[in-house]
């Protein structure tokens, strides 16, 4: 058994306890909708029990890791719950990644089994060929050499397998590359995942039985975190196969959606769509956004269309989801639009300098946190664990933040994205926000490129809006009116798109690779 960072002690229930509670309390209500199909809480509960029994029959027993390769669909939630009930450690694979990346994840995590959906059969076959001994389990008709997992599950009993779980059992190993490009496998336990549910309900959303949340982003990341809070309170989880702005707007209206969760790139595309003004959003109470900083121009436009009272921002990390800080609707004004919000009620947070000393308000420092919803360490990464986790439970986030006099936290940038030019620190996010106030700029990324004299030069990669023009000199001058002279771009590169990560975030790492570093 590998040694895990256990963080702050917790007396909260396990994730399995919360799944069982929701099933008992809301059996007849609709739990999941996907297209024209739906499942009640009782349906999900029975199917997840069958999946758990089928996992055991296939050799995925308590503590073993199983890779999951499927896009958003009807079986996403029952399969996740089935893994928890089996005591298994699920390892989701983002379908947008390459076969080589998937193979590395499977091998690095020690998965012996892969569950795959029919639309990803070709990738599953490639992975079985690449990973010796990998057992493939099909959620449909299996290819030669795979097992008919869904058919096997349908023959299993629908009773709870009653696996004896412990709070420190790892139930989720989630790969993330952050800004460094190095794969890290973050591990969540029964206790930490239950604490995430509490964190969401305590700080971000008051779920009611008739509520419905719309999911278009991949359920293996932040979007999926909302499933358990809605399950526990009797709300509906409405799943789309992916994000297409027109279909998303139709679903809001047709399904009477009460809550959304979006990343900035989704929100920008949504409010660019011609149907935005005519969509009925009268059912909508909350628009939750996070995962990466929101450009001020985008949130200002969104509030003008839908009203400030709907918008909630969270700041979190894969290592500590979901809410490290929250910006409430009443704080969506003025300079606070550039803030992450105030620390969540169930987190300790401090900012430290390079020597580990706490810095005063108005001074940037690395964000450190201590919380019950933090991960139990990275899998098979002793050096990274030593650099990230302090003995007393504090976690180094590698994010640079700053408190104002009222206790609002501002995210300045990732330590790895900071540009050092002529001895000055430049935070790309500040320059990007200035660029995005120009009407011709659709999206942008600011990076540091090598420079003989200044070490790094501030470089902006810009995508213009269709039919609009702007010169390099015009954009540099526009930024210079809003930031110090040393922060303005020395160069502007025009491109047709900004590379994004597998979860839709702008990736400065990929931008640097494309443009010379």
Band of the pLDDT at 177, cuts 50, 70, 90?
low
Whether 5 shows a pLDDT value over 90: the answer reads no
* Residue 9, helix vs strand vs coil: coil
User: Which residue, of 290, 311, 342, is where some domain finishes?
Assistant: 342
Do 336 and 478 lie in one domain? The reply is no
Whether 53 shows a pLDDT value over 50: the answer reads yes
Q: What is the pLDDT of residue 268?
A: 87
Whether 358 shows a pLDDT value over 60: the answer reads yes
| Closest alpha carbon to 231 in 115, 455, 80 | 80
Least reliable range by pLDDT among 258-272, 329-343, 450-464, 501-515? 501-515
User: Which residue, of 342, 369, 389, is where some domain finishes?
Assistant: 342
Q: What is the pLDDT of residue 11?
A: 61
Q: What is the pLDDT of residue 9?
A: 46
Whether 282 shows a pLDDT value over 60: the answer reads yes
Residue 351 lies in a domain: no
Whether 144 shows a pLDDT value over 60: the answer reads yes
Compare 256 and 268 and report the one with higher pLDDT: 256
Structure tokens at 272: 């660019």
- For the domain that residue 246 is a member of, what is the CATH number? 3.40.50.12780
- Separation CA 317–CA 177 (nearest Å): 12
Whether 506 shows a pLDDT value over 60: the answer reads yes
Mean pLDDT of the chain: 92
Q: How many Cα neighbours within 13 Å face the side chain of 444? A: 34
Do 102 and 243 lie in one domain? The reply is yes
Do 325 and 448 lie in one domain? The reply is no
- Quote the pTM value: 0.84
Do 191 and 337 lie in one domain? The reply is yes
Do 328 and 475 lie in one domain? The reply is no
Sign of the CA dihedral with 74 first, then 79, 85, and 89 last? negative
- Separation CA 327–CA 340 (nearest Å): 6
Structure tokens at 180: 């460094």
Q: What is the pLDDT of residue 420?
A: 77
- Separation CA 151–CA 47 (nearest Å): 12
Residue 156 lies in a domain: yes
Do 324 and 461 lie in one domain? The reply is no
Do 444 and 329 lie in one domain? The reply is no
Do 76 and 224 lie in one domain? The reply is yes
Q: What is the pLDDT of residue 503?
A: 67
Residue 500 lies in a domain: yes
Residue 113 lies in a domain: yes
- Separation CA 511–CA 493 (nearest Å): 11
Mean pLDDT of 57-63: 97
Mean pLDDT of 320-329: 96
Whether 220 shows a pLDDT value over 60: the answer reads yes
Do 226 and 99 lie in one domain? The reply is yes
Do 337 and 427 lie in one domain? The reply is no
Residue 348 lies in a domain: no
Q: Distance of CA 368 to CAs 190, 316, 352, Å?
A: 23, 12, 7
How many Cβ atoms sit within 10 Å of the Cβ of residue 14?
A: 21
155-169 tens-digit pLDDT:
999 999 999 999 999
Q: What is the pLDDT of residue 430?
A: 85
Mean pLDDT of 223-240: 97
User: Which residue, of 342, 365, 388, is where some domain finishes?
Assistant: 342
Structural domain of 133: 14-342
Q: What is the pLDDT of residue 182?
A: 64
Q: What is the pLDDT of residue 4?
A: 54
Residue 364 lies in a domain: no
| Closest alpha carbon to 472 in 506, 427, 440, 426 | 440
Whether 442 shows a pLDDT value over 90: the answer reads yes
- Separation CA 517–CA 499 (nearest Å): 14
- For the domain that residue 486 is a member of, what is the CATH number? 3.30.300.30
Do 138 and 252 lie in one domain? The reply is yes
Mean pLDDT of 381-405: 93
- Separation CA 504–CA 155 (nearest Å): 38
**Taking a C-beta distance cutoff of 8 angstroms, is the pair 106, 134 a contact?**
yes
**Taking a C-beta distance cutoff of 8 angstroms, is the pair 411, 466 a contact?**
no
Q: What is the pLDDT of residue 7?
A: 47
Compare 171 and 101 and report the one with higher pLDDT: 171
**Taking a C-beta distance cutoff of 8 angstroms, is the pair 371, 405 a contact?**
no
Question: In sequence order, which residues have a C-beta less than 8 Å from that of residue 282 and are 6 or more positions away?
Answer: none
Q: What is the pLDDT of residue 1?
A: 35
Pairing of the two strands 419-421 and 409-414? unpaired
Whether 396 shows a pLDDT value over 80: the answer reads yes
Q: What is the pLDDT of residue 418?
A: 77
CA angle 17, 19, 21 (to 5 degrees): 70
Mean pLDDT of 241-251: 97
Residue 287 lies in a domain: yes
Please tell me the total count of domains within the chain. Answer: 2
Q: What is the pLDDT of residue 74?
A: 97
Buried b (16+ CB within 10 A) or exposed e, 41-51: bbbbbbbbbbb
Band of the pLDDT at 412, cuts 50, 70, 90?
confident
* DSSP, res 299: H
Whether 313 shows a pLDDT value over 80: the answer reads yes
Whether 327 shows a pLDDT value over 90: the answer reads yes
Do 333 and 430 lie in one domain? The reply is no
Whether 88 shows a pLDDT value over 60: the answer reads yes
Residue 390 lies in a domain: no
Q: What is the pLDDT of residue 419?
A: 86
């Amino acid at each position: 058994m590998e040694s895990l960072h256990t963080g702050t002690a917790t007396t909260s229930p396990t994730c399995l306890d919360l799944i069982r509670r929701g099933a008992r309390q809301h059996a007849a209500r609709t739990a999941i909708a996907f297209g024209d199909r739906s499942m009640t809480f009782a349906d999900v509960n029975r199917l997840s029990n069958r999946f758990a029994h089928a996992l055991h029959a296939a050799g995925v027993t308590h503590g073993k890791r199983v890779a999951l390769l499927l896009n958003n669909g009807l079986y996403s939630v029952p399969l996740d719950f089935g893994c928890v009930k089996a005591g298994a450690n699920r390892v989701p694979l983002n379908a947008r990644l390459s076969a080589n990346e998937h193979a590395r994840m499977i091998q690095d995590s020690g998965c012996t089994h892969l569950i795959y959906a029919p639309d990803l059969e070709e990738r599953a076959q490639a992975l079985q060929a690449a990973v010796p001994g990998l057992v493939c389990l099909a959620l449909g008709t299996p290819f030669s050499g795979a097992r008919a997992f869904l058919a096997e599950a349908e023959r299993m009993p629908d009773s709870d397998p009653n696996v004896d779980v412990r709070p420190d059992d790892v139930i989720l190993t989630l790969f993330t590359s952050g800004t460094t490009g190095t794969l890290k496998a973050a591990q969540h336990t029964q206790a930490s995942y239950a604490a995430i549910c509490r964190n969401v309900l305590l700080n971000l959303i008051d779920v009611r039985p008739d509520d419905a949340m719309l999911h278009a982003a991949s359920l293996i990341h932040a979007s999926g975190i909302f499933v358990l809070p809605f399950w526990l309170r009797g709300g509906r989880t409405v799943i789309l196969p992916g994000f297409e702005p027109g279909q998303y707007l139709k679903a809001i209206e047709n399904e009477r959606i009460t809550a959304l969760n979006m990343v900035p790139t989704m929100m920008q595309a949504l409010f660019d769509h011609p149907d935005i003004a005519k969509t009925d959003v009268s059912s909508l109470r909350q628009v939750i956004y996070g995962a990466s900083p929101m450009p001020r121009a985008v949130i200002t436009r969104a509030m003008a269309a839908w009203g400030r009272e709907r918008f909630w921002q969270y700041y979190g990390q894969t290592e500590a989801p979901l809410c490290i800080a929250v910006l409430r609707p009443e704080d969506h004004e003025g300079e606070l639009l550039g803030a992450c919000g105030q620390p969540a009620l169930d987190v300790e947070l401090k900012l430290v300098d390079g020597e580990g000393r706490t810095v005063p308000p108005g001074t940037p420092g690395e964000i450190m946190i201590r919380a019950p919803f933090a991960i139990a360490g990275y899998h098979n990464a002793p050096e990274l664990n030593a650099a990230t986790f302090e003995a007393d439970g504090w976690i180094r986030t590698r994010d640079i933040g700053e408190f104002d006099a009222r206790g609002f936290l501002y995210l300045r940038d990732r330590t790895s994205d900071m540009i050092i030019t002529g001895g000055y620190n430049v935070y790309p996010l500040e320059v990007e926000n200035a660029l995005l106030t120009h009407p011709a700029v659709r999206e942008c990324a600011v990076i540091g490129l090598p420079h003989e004299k200044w070490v790094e030069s501030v470089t902006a990669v810009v995508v213009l809006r269709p039919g609009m023009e702007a010169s390099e000199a015009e954009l540099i001058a526009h930024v210079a009116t809003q930031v110090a002279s040393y922060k303005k771009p020395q160069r502007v590169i025009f491109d047709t798109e900004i590379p994004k990560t597998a979860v839709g975030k702008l990736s400065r790492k990929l931008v640097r690779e494309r443009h010379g570093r």
